[in-house]
Amino acid sequence: MSALPRPDASEQIRRRAMTVQDLDAVLAVEVQCYSHPWSRGNFIDSLAAGYLAELRLDATGQLIGYYVAMPGVDEMHLLNLTVAPRRQRRGHARAMLGELRERALERGDRQLWLEVRQSNEAARALYARAGFVEAGVRRSYYPSAGARREDAIVMSLQLVEGAGDALD
């Protein structure tokens, strides 16, 4: 049994594709959560490229969280997973990871990939509990305070047996 709380079973959760019309609400959450948030242009480019972008909403239509993932050949790359601050620590990120995993499996993907700030211990623990393993480091990947940059930990989740094996 997980020590993390789960979303209230009585809470009606909906999910749907993100659209350009959602970006004001998405950006309001983004700037609350990150020192270096994605720009409107980052989201517009992702939507225009056809990336998987989904919202998690409560029964009133209020934004709980969202994710953006880039499909690849036999893999999906999670680019952004965010939960509104007042909704954090209630299992929403874990639920969205599960939804992304389902979508990737539906596509026939073999692996999920992501980068996470080295300093983001909570996110790294969440991903590890979800079965992701550390696969490497991208040096100076993220912007940080001043002119400094922060390393990213690359993590992967094998979705099907043999996903790490060489091609036959």
Angle value at C-alpha 125, between 30 and 100, nearest 5 degrees? 60
Q: Confirm if 73 and 28 have CB atoms less than 8 A apart.
A: no
Active site annotation includes 75: no
For residue 42, the SS3 value is: helix
3-state secondary structure 91-116: CHHHHHHHHHHHHHHHHCCCEEEEEE
Q: Residue 85: is it exposed, middle or buried by C-beta count within 10 angstroms (0-12/13-18/19+)?
A: exposed
Tokens matching residue 99: 């939804």
Q: Confirm if 132 and 156 have CB atoms less than 8 A apart.
A: yes
Q: Confirm if 77 and 127 have CB atoms less than 8 A apart.
A: no
Task: Pick the catalytic residue from 54, 127, 142, 161.
Answer: 127
Task: Pick the catalytic residue from 115, 134, 141, 150.
Answer: 115
Active site annotation includes 127: yes
Catalogue the active-site residues: 115, 127
